[in-house]
Amino acid sequence: MNTVNKSNMLEIENVTKIFGGLKAVDDLSFELRENEILGLIGPNGSGKTTVVNIITGFLKPEKGSVKYLGEDITGKKPHEIISKGIVRTFQVMRPFKELTVLGNVVLGALIYEKNLWKAKDEAMGILKKVGLEQKKDVLCHDLTTPDQRKLELARALALHPRVLLLDEVVAGLSAQETSIILELIKKLREESNISFLIIEHVVKAVMSVADRVVVINAGRKIADGKPKDVVNDPTVIEVYLGKKIEEG
């Protein structure tokens, strides 16, 4: 059984983001611990993606800070944040569709490994990790949705993440396909010591994979705890779930 180290990788402290007078994120604080899988859930428009954009440097908050291993990274540029080991995937997948699966991952690997042949070797190793080695020569636009999700993970792994933020990583997948992706995330956590922040609408998926769940509504944190406790929290049920979610 995996033992989660309690030291913090990320600390979001009293973060506020305002768009046109509306607080999309409102005095929000939470942490991501080392080797943890943390779920971030909430209703549509609750501020989840805004939080990710703040962490990854696409947005700067009006107030508060983001710390990575104790260093204040608030307002740094996205490429600076990636270079520190904080990598994200996107809800809308963004592969280079006219390139092969291998070509997409090689592009990422070349950021750190300038020798093309070594970058190809590294990319092939990553494709084996995610189960795409047999499809290395397939053009991305010919991939199924589940394989495109695996490719998103592979491209992210090529950037050597220590923290990986996954935005709607099981969107559009069947229950069986979702299970495969979630098992892959668990495997990557065990093998690569990556900390995951998963932003997701599929609550049962989050329950099955996360060590801990943070729930936000209207930009504010309304719950933070183990999945089984969070989904039985009366406030979470009232504002988000509508009813209790059965485990299983």
Whether 199 and 38 have beta carbons less than 8 Å apart is answered as no
Condensed to tens digits (0 to 9), the pLDDT of residues 46-101 reads 899 999 999 999 999 999 999 999 999 999 999 999 999 999 987 655 666 778 99
Is beta strand 220-225 parallel, antiparallel or unpaired with respect to 71-72?
unpaired
76: its two tokens: 């740094």
Which pLDDT score is estimated for 248? 46
Q: What is the pLDDT of residue 3?
A: 43
Q: In this structure, which long-range contacts are made by residues 82-85, counting pairs with CB atoms below 8 Å and at least 24 apart in sequence?
A: 82/56, 82/159, 85/160, 85/161, 85/162, 85/163
- Predicted pLDDT of residue 60: 95
Q: Which residues of the chain have pLDDT under 50?
A: 1-5, 247-248
Three-state SS at 86: strand
101-109 vs 116-130: helix crossing angle, rounded to 10: 120
Q: Write out the H or E segment, with its range, that includes residue 83.
A: helix 78-84
The predicted structure's pLDDT at residue 120: 95
**Alpha carbon of 49 to those of 10, 178, 187: distances in Å?**
16, 20, 25
Provide the residue type at 212 as one letter. R
Name the 3-class secondary structure at 114.
coil
**Pair 142, 91: CB distance under 8 Å:** no
Please give the pLDDT value at position 95. Answer: 64
How far is the C-alpha of 42 from the C-alpha of 39, rounded, in Å?
A: 10
Signed CA dihedral, 211, 215, 216, 220: sign only? negative
Instruction: List C-alpha distances in Å: 208 to 38, 185, 211.
Output: 11, 11, 9
Q: What is the pLDDT of residue 201?
A: 78
What domains does the chain contain, in order, with CATH numbers?
1-85+161-248 (3.40.50.300), 91-160 (no CATH)
